[in-house]
Homo-oligomer: A and B are copies of this chain.
Amino acid sequence: MTPDAIRALLEEVAQGRRTPDAALAALKDLPFQDLGFAKVDHHRALRLGVPEVIFGQGKAPDHLAAIARTIVERGHDLLVTRVDAAQAEAVLAAVPDAQHEPRARTITARRAQRPAPPPHPVLVVCAGTSDLPVAEEARITAEACGSRVETLYDVGVAGIHRLLAHTQVLRRAGVVIVVAGMEGALPSVVGGLIDRPVIAVPTSIGYGAAFGGLAALLGMLNSCAPGLTVVNIDNGFGAGYAAARINALGAREQGA
């Protein structure tokens, strides 16, 4: 039941064509979202530049392509995550101007008009080259959600001077995403150097007692650097989305 339908119902009551009791019964099981949720969602998409996001993993290529075409035809931005080669081929056939990033396993396409990005960039830091796919997923997601993004890659804690050499880059970021596998120590060090929000992303990189990212995850959750928050193992998308949402707060305040 849409707001229009509710208004029509109320008009009938106003015109005496429906009794208050009959209207009450009709309203009783009113689906909640019809009262305006969809509109709110729409507002959010416009304001934050959040695209429609599809989790590609496990979806049939033709199915994925159809969803993607529908989205861009409605004039929405497109972000597909966790796509493999066959899926990418199908989606690019349907949306020829889309961008496929094999390393990040993403496909993006621009359709919507975007507001100006927040004043500070999101910074994506990663510990080793093996963490790049997750870091890139975070970067592309944050960009798709409307933030500018800078990157600082391959600055693991075992060579801490590489990180310390870039404190200027760290300090100009609005939000920092730190991606690390193995022992997951990098976010603690970064969190101690700056006073901006830090989102830690454990990756499944490692072997033996890394237990598929568990070691890095536990390390990040137990970080002694206050103000750190954590997302799921390999969840570059979640980190990028959260970072853009946080980064947009400043812009929103100014515009509010």
With A7-B21, A23-B10, A165-B33 given, is the CB distance from A227 to B219 under 8 Å?
no
**Which residues of chain B come closer than 8 Å to A7, judged between CB atoms?**
20-21, 24
A227 touches B245 (CB 8 A): yes
A225 touches B158 (CB 8 A): yes
Q: Which listed residue (B162, B196, B210, B254) contacts A254, Cβ 8 A? A: B254
What band does the interface of chain A fall in when counting residues whose beta carbon is under 8 Å from B? 35 or more
Say whether A85 faces chain B, with CB atoms less than 8 Å apart: no
A242 and chain B: residue at smallest CB distance: B227
B215 touches A204 (CB 8 A): no
Closest beta carbon of chain B to A102's beta carbon, Å: 12
Q: Which listed residue (B28, B219, B238) contacts A228, Cβ 8 A? A: B238
Closest beta carbon of chain B to A233's beta carbon, Å: 3
CB contact list, A14-51 vs B, under 8 A? 14, 16, 19-21, 23-24, 27-37, 40, 44, 48, 50
B188 touches A157 (CB 8 A): yes
A168 touches B29 (CB 8 A): yes
**Which residues of chain B come closer than 8 Å to A211, judged between CB atoms?**
218
Q: Which listed residue (B161, B184, B250) contacts A253, Cβ 8 A? A: B250
Q: Which listed residue (B59, B156, B230) contacts A229, Cβ 8 A? A: B230
A192 touches B249 (CB 8 A): no
From A48, A174, A183, name the one whose CB has the most chain B CB atoms within 10 angstroms. Answer: A183
Say whether A189 faces chain B, with CB atoms less than 8 Å apart: yes
Q: Which listed residue (B16, B158, B249) contacts A223, Cβ 8 A? A: B158
